[in-house]
């Protein structure tokens, strides 16, 4: 969440940034933040003054007792009791104001980086680069939802029987392709200096709030109501929460973690070919990379993460493009996001396979994730994350782009992981 001091000291910059998001309530909510903070500060000042008065009276009582003036001491003890009640009332009012302020800040998204373009939707995103040749397929080529039936490698009907729509069953070489991709992505991340973790796939409410999924995406998460736990929409949530309420040393930065998890999202979108087959699922596999960095180095880290993800796509021999998301298409918590999209030849369109984002201090303020700098001063770290990679659309593009009349060829980099070269 935004820092109150940032809202106060950089009001115009914050307002201008939120206007990039087309966040029409921005000015009113920012003014409410300042008003609530003023109220909190006034209450705190009153409380501190009463506490100082109470402390002074306590000293006076002690002095009178030492001088044997018990009767005089008893007379002013009542005043101390009254002050304690007033202080308690002000403490309660202050706690209420702080909760109200925090709840308000939860509704305000992150301020976009200066490089984020204005725009209302995905059509306004900026293309940073394109790489690779678009494959030309043979006549009679099929989209992946037909290929998986032809080669019996993924079964949506079985998933519907067992669970419901959006929960596919991977079979035979389809299951082996999933496992191969997961292991390939993890191995590549380890080579790049990331430390692997295997986090829980259920998180508590505090973890959801700490990384910004709650309250923003509450309706999109599967909620185990009996225990008030949430199935994770991405490994970003548990991995970043490893550092909640932690004070790091500057020497520990950057922290680089990678983790594989299944991911769960209730929203499945509208009907149509653009969400057919593997294009959008309720459950899918993903390898996630997370970094905790010094604020001065976070944008360099973001560029390095973007380059790293692009390297994976090159090794998989997939044509791709990189987009800088406009203000209207960015995630709630992000300051700057790059999307990587691969071209799906049989569908004739681009499919998003990764988002790499810098959150600056937005998550770390919620997390209370800090570090001590060289002068032993404590400050908030920056957090970043990215998909490296999400499997469903990668699989869709691999199947469609590499199909031949005789089968589907697999990229060479996966051969050692698969144990086969063709489906």
What pLDDT, on the 0 to 100 scale, is given for residue 24?
A: 94
Annotated binding residue at 203?
A: no
- How far is it, in rounded angstroms, from Cα 333 to Cα 107? 11
* 409 closest CA partner among 42, 121, 135, 12: 135
Q: Would you state the pLDDT for residue 273?
A: 53
267 is known to lie in a ligand binding site: yes
pLDDT at 66: 86
- Residue 354 marked ligand-binding: yes
Among candidates 179, 167, 174, which has minimal Cα distance to 151?
174
- CATH T-level topology, domain 122-418: BirA Bifunctional Protein; domain 2 (3.30.930)
* pTM summary value: 0.92
What is the C-alpha separation between 174 and 130, in angstroms, rounded?
29
- The reply, when asked if residue 266 is annotated as ligand binding, is yes
Determine whether the annotation assigns residue 270 to a binding site.
Answer: no
Question: Is 236 one of the annotated binding-site residues?
Answer: no
Cα distance between residue 136 and residue 39, in whole Å: 65
Tell me the three state secondary structure of residue 91.
Answer: helix
Instruction: Kindly list the domain boundaries of the chain, sorted by start residue.
Output: 4-105, 122-418
Sign of CA dihedral 51, 57, 61, 63: positive
- Per run of 10 residues, the mean pLDDT along the chain (length 423 residues) is 96 97 96 96 94 90 85 81 91 94 96 97 97 96 98 97 97 98 98 98 97 90 96 98 98 98 80 76 98 98 98 98 97 98 96 98 98 94 98 98 97 98 98
> Do 4-105 and 122-418 show the same overall fold?
no
Provide the pairing of β-strand 336-344 with 320-324.
Answer: antiparallel
| Axis-axis angle for helices 391-401, 173-191 (nearest 10) | 120
Q: Is 355 one of the annotated binding-site residues?
A: yes
Alpha helices for 106-140 (secondary structure H) = none
The answer to whether 276 is a known ligand-binding residue is: no
Q: Cα(first)–Cα(last) distance of the chain, in Å?
A: 48
**Residues 199, 203, 204, 210, Cα dihedral to 10°:** 80
For 104-125, the pLDDT digits (tens) are 999 999 999 999 999 999 999 9
Fold classification of 4-105 is Helix Hairpins (1.10.287)
The answer to the question of whether 207 is labelled as a binding residue is no
Q: 212 phi and psi, to 5 degrees?
A: 95, 5
Does the annotation place 176 within a ligand binding site? no
């Amino acid at each position: 969440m935004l820092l109150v001091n940032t809202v106060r000291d950089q009001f115009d910059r914050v307002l201008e940034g939120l206007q990039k998001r087309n966040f029409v309530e921005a000015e009113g909510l920012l003014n409410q933040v300042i008003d609530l903070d003023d109220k909190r500060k006034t209450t705190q000042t009153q409380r501190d003054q009463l506490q100082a008065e109470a402390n002074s009276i306590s000293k006076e009582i002690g002095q009178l007792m030492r001088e044997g003036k018990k009767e005089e001491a008893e007379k002013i003890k009542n005043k101390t009791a009254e002050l304690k009640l007033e202080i308690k009332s002000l403490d309660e009012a202050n706690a209420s104001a702080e909760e109200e302020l925090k709840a308000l800040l939860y509704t305000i998204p992150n301020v976009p980086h200066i490089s984020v373009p204005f725009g209302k939707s995905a059509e306004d995103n900026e293309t940073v680069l394109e790489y690779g040749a678009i494959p030309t397929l043979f006549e009679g080529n099929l989209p992946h939802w037909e290929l998986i039936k032809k080669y019996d490698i993924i079964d949506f009907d079985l998933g519907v029987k067992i669970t419901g729509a959006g929960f596919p069953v991977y079979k035979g070489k389809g299951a082996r392709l999933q496992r191969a991709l997961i292991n390939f992505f993890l191995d590549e991340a380890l080579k790049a200096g990331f430390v692997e973790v295997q986090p829980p796939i259920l998180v508590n409410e505090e973890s959801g709030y700490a990384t910004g999924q709650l309250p923003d995406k509450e309706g999109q998460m599967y909620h185990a109501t009996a225990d008030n736990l949430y199935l994770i929409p991405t490994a970003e949530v548990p991995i970043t929460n490893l550092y909640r309420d932690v004070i790091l040393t500057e020497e520990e930065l950057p922290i680089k973690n990678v983790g594989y998890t299944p991911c769960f999202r209730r929203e499945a979108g509208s009907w149509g070919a653009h969400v057919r087959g593997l294009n959008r699922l309720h459950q899918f596999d993903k390898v996630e990379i997370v970094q905790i960095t010094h604020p001065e180095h976070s944008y360099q880290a973001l560029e390095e993460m973007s380059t790293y993800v692009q390297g994976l796509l090159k090794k998989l021999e997939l044509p791709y493009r990189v987009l800088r998301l406009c203000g209207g298409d960015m995630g709630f918590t992000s300051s700057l996001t790059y999307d990587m999209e691969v071209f799906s030849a049989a569908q004739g369109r681009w499919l998003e396979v990764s988002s790499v984002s810098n959150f600056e201090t937005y998550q770390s303020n919620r997390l209370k994730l800090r570090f001590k700098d060289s002068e032993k001063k404590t400050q908030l770290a920056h957090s970043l994350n990215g998909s490296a990679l999400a499997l469903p659309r990668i699989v869709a593009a691999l199947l469609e782009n590499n199909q031949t009349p005789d089968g589907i060829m697999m990229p060479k980099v996966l051969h050692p992981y698969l144990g086969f070269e063709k489906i």
